[in-house]
């Protein structure tokens, strides 16, 4: 089991109010110091009275930098071998806020994100509130394809409430405590949210709750990432369903690239601002979708293996 090192500065400890903070924000970090620095600077500009928890996975150099440069954050440093869902749950266990929000080091929150988030939770009874994700990295076909693979349905004009991403989602404390076993399962957020939906938890999608995604991928890097994510997702999913459904999904795996590309075409072609980017990125996108289909096929047949810990 990977070991965890938890550190919090004396200054932060002394200045922490006796009452629990109203908002806790968890930032998971696998992208390195350059990404995390920009993310934390953006949060700290607006995070007065907010508990910031940073979970760094497999990067002691970045953890050391955070420890030195950001004494006000609660740092958790994990060795390699822990998946992102597991790291998020470990971070969740130390949070004290009435609302707990999640984002990633490769994202930058927009101005007033913290205030907007808390206002939305006060004004709405929904247990889960998710926001939109926009793209602000290099505008080449490979990186747009990677973004469309992960976040196309979370672009501001297309945002849907069914499955918010951990890059921009928040939960009321009551939901986290009532369904603790769901969050501790180590599953990817899509499966977690499916489980919450079946239990009657209400979701709210707000396009004005926005973060910018900044991650830049190389072609081979994302091809590998897509395979490992898909295999781990399929393995986790298969473990929760009857054999007949697992067989059905296995047989359907080869058709996934066509299915997903058709869905993305219907989603993105009508949106003028993304039409050209989608068409230009479609050759890379098709290859990424094929890698994902191969990953799902292996996941349904052979289980998740160690793919979950290879996703960053």
Q: Give the span between the Cα atoms of 143 and 124, in whole angstroms.
A: 35
**CATH architecture, domain 4-213:** Alpha-Beta Complex (3.90)
The domain segmentation of the chain, as residue ranges, is 4-213, 219-310
Predicted confidence at residue 163, as pLDDT, reads 87
pLDDT tier at 80, thresholds 50, 70, 90: confident
* CB-CB contact of 261 with 308 (8 Å): no
Task: Read off the pLDDT of residues 153-178 as tens digits, 9 standing for 90 and up.
Answer: 999 999 876 789 999 999 999 999 99
Task: Read off the pLDDT of residues 212-269 as tens digits, 9 standing for 90 and up.
Answer: 999 999 999 999 999 999 999 999 999 999 999 999 999 999 999 999 999 999 999 9
* CB-CB contact of 209 with 132 (8 Å): yes
Residues 6+ apart with CB under 8 A from 223: 287, 288, 291
Predicted confidence at residue 103, as pLDDT, reads 97
pLDDT tier at 9, thresholds 50, 70, 90: very low
Predicted confidence at residue 23, as pLDDT, reads 96
Query: Which residue from 145, 123, 97, 85 is spatially nearest to 209, judged by alpha carbons?
Result: 123
> Does residue 18 have a pLDDT over 60?
no
pLDDT tier at 20, thresholds 50, 70, 90: low
Q: Give the span between the Cα atoms of 226 and 293, in whole angstroms.
A: 9
> Does residue 40 have a pLDDT over 60?
yes
């Amino acid at each position: 089991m990977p070991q965890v090192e938890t550190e919090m500065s004396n200054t932060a400890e002394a200045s922490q109010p006796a009452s629990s903070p109203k908002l806790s924000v968890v930032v998971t970090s696998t992208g390195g110091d350059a990404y995390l620095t920009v993310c934390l600077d953006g949060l700290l500009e607006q995070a007065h009275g907010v508990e910031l928890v940073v979970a760094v996975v497999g990067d002691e150099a970045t953890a050391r930098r955070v420890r030195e440069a950001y004494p006000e954050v609660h740092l958790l440093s994990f060795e390699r071998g822990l998946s992102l869902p597991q790291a998020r749950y470990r971070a969740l266990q130390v949070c004290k806020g009435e609302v707990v929000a999640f984002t990633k080091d490769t994202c930058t929150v927009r101005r007033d994100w913290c205030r907007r988030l808390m206002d939305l939770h006060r004004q709405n009874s929904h247990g889960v509130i998710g926001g939109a994700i926009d793209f602000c990295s290099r505008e080449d076909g490979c990186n747009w394809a990677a973004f469309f693979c992960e976040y196309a349905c979370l672009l501001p004009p297309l945002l849907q409430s069914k499955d918010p991403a951990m890059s921009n989602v928040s939960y009321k404390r009551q939901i986290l405590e009532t369904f603790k076993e769901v969050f501790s399962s180590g599953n990817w957020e899509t499966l977690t949210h499916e489980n919450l939906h079946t239990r009657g938890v209400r979701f709210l999608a707000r396009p004005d709750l926005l973060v910018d995604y900044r991650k830049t991928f190389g072609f081979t890097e994302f091809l590998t990432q897509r395979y490992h994510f898909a295999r781990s997702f399929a393995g986790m999913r298969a473990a929760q369903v009857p054999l007949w459904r697992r067989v059905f999904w296995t047989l359907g795996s080869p058709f996934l690239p066509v299915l997903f590309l058709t869905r993305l075409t219907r989603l993105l072609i009508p949106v003028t601002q993304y039409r050209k980017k989608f068409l230009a990125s479609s050759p890379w996108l098709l290859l990424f979708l094929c890698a994902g289909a191969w990953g799902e096929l292996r996941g349904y047949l052979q289980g998740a293996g160690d793919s979950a810990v290879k996703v960053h």
